[in-house]
Structure 1
Amino acid sequence: MSDDFFPIVPPGRPIWLVTLADLALLLVGFFVLLQANQRLDKEALATGLREGFGITERVADPMPVAVAAMGDFAPGSSILPQSAAAISQWARSAASDPRVRLRLSGAVDGTAADVDPETGSGTILAADRARAVAVALVAAGAVSADRLTITTDPVPGRRAVTLTIGFDGKRP
């Protein structure tokens, strides 16, 4: 091979200069972001993001404060196993602060017998159990319906409804 095979390339920029330019651009971008966030209305931004993703209602889990449960449901049934008087009294005293929310989480034990008789779904039975306790609490006047959230426990455990009192933190 001859020297003509390898052409002489004029010297270019050193690689460290390209890396330095990338770093400088990232630093400028970071300072622009900091400057833009000084006058940012965080609630408006959060509302805009929620609307952009099609979320109409803000649902945040409140900080848990106290927990109670109503257990011993019959397999495949959402009928309350005992009177709701004790759990209603607990919910009434715990939810006396208007900043407190009540979350009812229904659960099933995971066996084939503990499913909704019409659909064969354990999740529907768990939701029905939580709904039955919620109806009993609202009927007893323990808490208003707009302060209740009904969920289902995704992990099978016991045939129960867990009531969690959570502090929402917003002033009434």
Structure 2
Amino acid sequence: MSETDLLDPPPARPLWLWTLADLALLLVGFFVLVQATDRQALAKGLREGFGGKPAAATTISTPADPIPLASAAAGFAPGSARIVITDGLLDFAMESLRDPRVTLRIAGSAEGTRADSDPTTGSAQILASDRARATASWLIAHGVAADRIMIATPGTGRRIALVTMSFTGDPDRKRP
């Protein structure tokens, strides 16, 4: 063995192998975050892990959104919560509710423009809520069981109430 052999570094793993391992670990971590079922606890843990302050406690507890499977919509005139389009909505609701593990989730929405807002308050959110309630009332009046309907947070974007078929699990099994 010569003096120059002692100065050469020993053969090591290639740099790309370490980079690939880092990428794989990042992907695993990402998928764990995506699949987290208790998002509130996950957010709290991440906040505390990075030295953040605890979030203010809220008194309103809302259930997690169920898994959406399919949807239909009711249409409305601008600035109104009176349903004008129901194409296939009742058929969709009745067919969806044949499975006892399914509920209908109704989310009203409004365009958010001045013309498409509640006439009394000027609020698009109130009009969107009114549209969801009007759709629920219409479905109940046409034979859909009220306990199989859930009204969701209103949104903005279009003049509709989106009715989504959602898998909520076995009705005989209690939820945690």
Identify the TM-score tier after normalising by the shorter chain: 0.5 to 0.7
Deviations for 1:97-129, whole angstroms, at most 9, x for unmatched residues? Answer: 111011101111111111111111111100111
Aligned residue for 2:41?
none
Ranges in structure 2 where 5+ consecutive residues have no aligned partner: 1-56
Of 85, 107, 110, 1:108 maps to 110
The one-letter code matched in structure 2 to 1:103 is: R
**Which digits, 9 at most, give the CA deviation of each residue in 1:36-72, with x for residues without a partner?**
xxxxxxxxxxxxxxxx9756x762211111111122x
State the Cα distance separating 1:86 from its structure 2 match.
2.9
Q: Is 144-153 or 124-133 further displaced after alignment?
A: 144-153
- In the alignment, which of 134, 141, 159 is matched to residue 136 of structure 2? 134
**Distance change >3 Å, CA 54–CA 115, structure 1 → 2:** closer
Q: Does 1 or 2 have the higher relative contact order (CA < 8 Å, sep 6+)? A: 1
Partner of 1:63: 67
Q: Which has the larger radius of gyration?
A: 1
Rounded Cα–Cα distance in structure 1 between residues aligned with 2:159 and 2:133: 14
Runs of 4+ that moved beyond 6 A: none
How has the CA–CA distance of structure 1 residues 93 and 141 changed in structure 2, closer, same or farther, with 3 Å as cutoff?
Answer: same
Residue 123 (structure 1) aligns with: 125
Matched residue, 2:161: 161
Give % identity.
47
Number of residue-to-residue matches in the alignment: 117
CA RMSD of aligned residues (A): 2.3
CA distance in structure 1 between the aligned counterparts of 2:108 and 2:59, rounded to whole angstroms: 27
Q: Is the 8 A contact 1:107 1:152 kept in 2?
A: no
* SS of residue in 1 equivalent to 2:126: helix
Report matched runs for 1:1-172 at 5 Å. 59-71=63-75, 73-82=76-85, 84=86, 86-142=88-144, 144-154=145-155, 156-172=156-172
| TM-score, normalised by the number of residues in structure 1 | 0.61
Within 1, Cα distance between the matches of 2:59 and 2:74? Answer: 35
Runs of 5+ consecutive residues of structure 1 not aligned to the other structure: 1-51
Alpha-carbon shift at residue 85 of structure 1 (Å):
7.1
